[in-house]
Amino acid sequence: MTDKEEWIDIGSTEEVASIPLKSCKAGTTALAISFKDGQFGAVSNICNHVGGPLGDGRLDGDYIICPWHGWKFHRRTGVGEPGFEQDRVPAFPVKVESGRVLINVAAPSRRVKAPHRPHPLSRKPERAPGSLRLVGISTTVMDTANPRFSGSDYLLDHSLKAASELGADTRLIRLNDLKFRACEGYYSKAAQACTWPCSITQMDASDELDRVYDAFVHWADAVIVASPIRWGTASSLYFKMVERMNCVQNQITIANRILIRNKVAGFIIVGGQDNIQMVAGQMLGFFAELGFIFPQFPFIAHSRGWSHEDMENNVAMVRNSKELAEGAGMLAKRLLDLATRLIAQDEAPASIERGGRKAHRV
């Protein structure tokens, strides 16, 4: 705190006291103004984490809870909540004169950002040397205690086996085995609130989608996503994963940073009834926006057709089809061939000015 003075009137006492917490400007200074137990408080409106507007949050006793990810700061001193006192946002002197609330914007306390251990996912994406690496993502949902035959999983197994025979390291991730939260819409608060790594991943160590993030951003050269068709679209688990991938795409939006470089994607789509083109279109569009690249003919698919309700026969058809199994292997080969060329050329830029759907400047 300095002894400089520049007192700015922010309103009458009744007016300012009528709202327990609000964002406000005093000259050019953005403030979180609070009133509780007869005392006014004024701290910087900018959260230490990634800049959330503290005055738009809520009070928990004398602590302001940031509306973006819940960090807490004392409403009058700016000091972080117990256990995090090293973190401080600037606090400003407040006085009441002649029924008016005045803030000395020239004498804030110092902002202190305590070092926070970076999340392991936040490391720079760099391809580690070694064999080609292919991850298969199974998105089908089933009762694991009573497993059933899944056509999409069956073909994904064939892809992984073929990749392995071609000398690649493989990994299979079944979304059905992971415990992960649905996207809670941090982007809907503000683009900057949707962080990389994902806000949920950073806040909740028990959330297991970090395995998919790690595979997509860091480990894999090639990705195959396998989905059944459910009511004409991809599986619900696929969409649960996709919504959580917004943080990867959002880095392009808010930081012009492409996390996915020199990586290829392909898809396996299996359904009893049709709509393959729509499912494939969604998958291609979404993975393109993440930065993945596709080989020629980037998906294989099968469906029995609209007029057939005999799913037992569909199961038998997939299980007995040599062509589909071979097709799954050939898909893996196309992906690995393209990945090899991309890695050798290493031409993908780390940023593209106004890439993808952000062609319009944001």
The contact set with ligand FES (CB under 6 A) reads 47, 49-52, 66, 68-71
- Residue 52's nearest CA partner among 37, 73, 34 is 73
Q: Please, what is the minimum distance in Å from the beta carbon of residue 183 to ligand FES?
A: 16
Q: Please, what is the minimum distance in Å from the beta carbon of residue 43 to ligand FES?
A: 13
Cis amide leading into 53 (omega within 30): no
Q: Please, what is the minimum distance in Å from the beta carbon of residue 248 to ligand FES?
A: 18
For ligand FES, the closer of residues 44 and 303 by Cβ is: 44
Q: Please, what is the minimum distance in Å from the beta carbon of residue 113 to ligand FES?
A: 12
For ligand FES, the closer of residues 66 and 220 by Cβ is: 66
Q: Please, what is the minimum distance in Å from the beta carbon of residue 88 to ligand FES?
A: 14
For ligand FES, the closer of residues 69 and 263 by Cβ is: 69
β partners of residue 35: 40
Q: Please, what is the minimum distance in Å from the beta carbon of residue 46 to ligand FES?
A: 9
Question: What is the SS3 string spanning the chain?
Answer: CCCCCCEEEEEEHHHHHCCCEEEEEECCEEEEEEEECCEEEEEECECCCCCCEHHHCEEECCEEECCCCCCEEECCCCEECCCCCCCECCECCEEEECCEEEEECCCCCCCECCCCCCCHHHCCCCCCCCCCEEEEEECCCCCCCCCCCCHHHHHHHHHHHHHHHCCCEEEEEEHHHCCCCCCCCHHHHCHHHCCCCCHHHHHCCCCCCHHHHHHHHHHCCEEEEEEECECCECCHHHHHHHHHCHHHHHHHHHHCCCCCCCCEEEEEEEECCCCHHHHHHHHHHHHHHHCCECCCCCEEEEECCCCCCCHHHHHHHHHHCHHHHHHHHHHHHHHHHHHHHHHHHCCCCCCCCCCHHHHCCC
For ligand FES, the closer of residues 113 and 357 by Cβ is: 113
For ligand FES, the closer of residues 205 and 344 by Cβ is: 205
Q: Please, what is the minimum distance in Å from the beta carbon of residue 28 to ligand FES?
A: 21
Q: Please, what is the minimum distance in Å from the beta carbon of residue 107 to ligand FES?
A: 24
**What's the gap between Cα 133 and its chain centre?**
23
**What's the gap between Cα 123 and its chain centre?**
15
Do 160 and 133 touch, CB atoms closer than 8 A?
no
Do 72 and 81 touch, CB atoms closer than 8 A?
yes
For ligand FES, the closer of residues 87 and 289 by Cβ is: 87
Q: Please, what is the minimum distance in Å from the beta carbon of residue 185 to ligand FES?
A: 14
Do 271 and 223 touch, CB atoms closer than 8 A?
no
For ligand FES, the closer of residues 117 and 148 by Cβ is: 117
For ligand FES, the closer of residues 69 and 302 by Cβ is: 69
For ligand FES, the closer of residues 200 and 258 by Cβ is: 200
For ligand FES, the closer of residues 100 and 119 by Cβ is: 119
Q: Please, what is the minimum distance in Å from the beta carbon of residue 159 to ligand FES?
A: 39
